[in-house]
C-alpha cells in the first residue's frame, strides 16, 4: 500500500464555490471550509459546494467555530458550544464533508481526567443527535497548541476508542505544545497501535511561547519535507490542510516537494 496524500488549503478566500474550483485548478485535492466566526452559509450554497466538490473529486472538511469549550464551568456555554458544532455538522452533511474539526475545550479548574469525562459526555450526546438526523459526518476534535487546552494526542486517541469519534492531528499545534520538540516516530507509532491508517491533519509553520501556540506562520520547506517523509514511511493515507497565512501558496509548495519524494 502506498500512502495517498491529499493537499488543500484552510478556507476558500471568501467565495466558497470559486475557492473550491481554484484549489482544483491548481492541482490540489482538498479544501477545508472555515466556519471560524460562525456558521454563515446557506443550505443552498452548501449543497452547491457539495455538488461541485463531488464533480471535481475534491475532499471537503469543515472547521467549526472557534467559540467552543465543551469543558466550560458554565453549562450554558457547553450547550452553546454543542449547538455551534452541530450546526457545522448539518452544513457539513450538505457539503459532503466527512470531518467536522473543532477545538474541544480548556482544562480550566478541572483536573485532566475530569475534563476528559465532561468532554466525552458532550461528544456522546452530539453523536446521538448526528445519528438521529442521519448526517454522514464524523466529529473530529483537534490536537491543540496551548498547554491550557484539552487535546493532546493521547486524550484524543482515547476519545476515539471510547466514543467512535475521529480526530484531527494538527502537527503544528503538537510542535507548539511540546516547545518545538515534535516526535514523529512516537506519533506514527501511536497511530499504528490504534489501527489508524487514514488521518485528517492540519499543518503550517508555528510560533510559540512557553505557554504553547502563539500564531500560525508560513510553512518552511524543511518542515513540509519532514512531515511528508514520515507520512510516506508510515504508509498512512492523509489529507493535509494547510493553515498558514498563505494556505494556497504553502499547499503548492508542499505539492512540489511531494512530487520529488
Domain residue spans of the chain: 5-260
Q: Within 10 Å of residue 131's Cβ, how many Cβ atoms?
A: 9
CB 242 within 8 A of CB 203: yes
pLDDT of residue 13: 86
Strands (E), the chain: 5-9, 30-34, 59-63, 99-102, 105-106, 138-141, 149-150, 168-170, 198-203, 205-209, 212-217, 237-242
In angstroms, rounded to a whole number, what is the distance separating the alpha carbons of residues 124 and 220?
Answer: 38
Q: How confident is the model over 92-116, as pLDDT tens digits?
A: 999 999 999 999 999 999 999 999 9
Low-confidence ranges of the chain (pLDDT < 50): 1
In angstroms, rounded to a whole number, what is the distance separating the alpha carbons of residues 16 and 211?
Answer: 34
pLDDT of residue 1: 41
Q: How confident is the model over 35-67, as pLDDT tens digits?
A: 988 999 999 999 999 999 999 999 999 999 999
pLDDT of residue 3: 67
* Matching CATH number, 5-260, of 3.90.25.10, 3.50.50.60, 3.30.1330.100, 3.20.20.150: 3.20.20.150
In angstroms, rounded to a whole number, what is the distance separating the alpha carbons of residues 138 and 124?
Answer: 12
Amino acid at each position: 500500500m502506498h500512502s495517498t496524500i491529499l493537499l488543500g488549503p484552510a478556507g476558500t478566500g471568501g467565495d466558497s464555490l470559486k475557492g473550491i474550483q481554484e484549489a482544483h485548478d491548481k492541482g490540489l485535492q482538498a479544501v477545508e471550509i472555515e466556519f471560524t466566526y460562525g456558521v454563515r452559509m446557506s443550505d443552498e450554497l452548501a449543497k452547491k459546494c457539495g455538488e461541485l466538490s463531488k464533480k471535481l473529486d475534491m475532499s471537503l472538511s469543515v472547521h467549526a467555530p472557534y467559540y467552543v469549550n465543551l469543558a466550560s464551568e458554565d453549562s450554558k456555554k457547553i450547550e452553546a458550544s454543542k449547538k455551534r458544532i452541530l450546526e457545522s455538522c448539518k452544513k457539513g452533511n450538505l457539503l459532503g464533508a466527512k470531518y467536522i474539526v473543532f477545538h474541544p475545550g480548556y482544562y480550566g479548574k478541572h483536573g485532566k481526567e475530569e475534563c476528559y469525562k465532561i468532554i466525552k459526555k458532550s461528544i456522546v450526546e452530539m453523536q446521538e443527535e448526528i445519528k438521529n438526523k442521519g448526517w454522514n459526518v464524523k466529529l473530529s476534535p483537534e490536537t491543540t497548541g496551548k498547554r491550557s487546552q484539552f487535546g493532546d494526542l493521547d486524550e484524543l486517541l482515547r476519545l476515539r476508542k471510547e466514543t467512535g469519534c475521529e480526530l484531527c492531528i494538527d502537527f503544528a499545534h503538537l510542535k507548539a505544545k511540546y516547545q518545538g520538540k515534535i516526535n514523529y516516530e512516537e506519533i506514527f507509532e501511536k497511530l499504528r497501535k490504534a489501527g489508524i491508517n487514514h488521518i485528517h491533519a492540519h499543518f503550517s509553520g508555528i510560533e510559540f511561547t512557553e505557554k504553547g501556540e502563539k500564531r500560525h506562520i508560513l510553512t518552511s520547506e524543511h518542515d513540509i519535507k519532514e512531515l511528508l517523509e514520515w507520512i510516506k514511511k508510515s504508509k498512512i493515507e492523509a489529507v493535509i490542510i494547510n493553515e498558514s497565512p498563505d494556505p494556497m501558496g504553502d499547499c503548492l509548495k508542499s505539492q512540489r516537494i511531494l512530487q520529488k519524494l
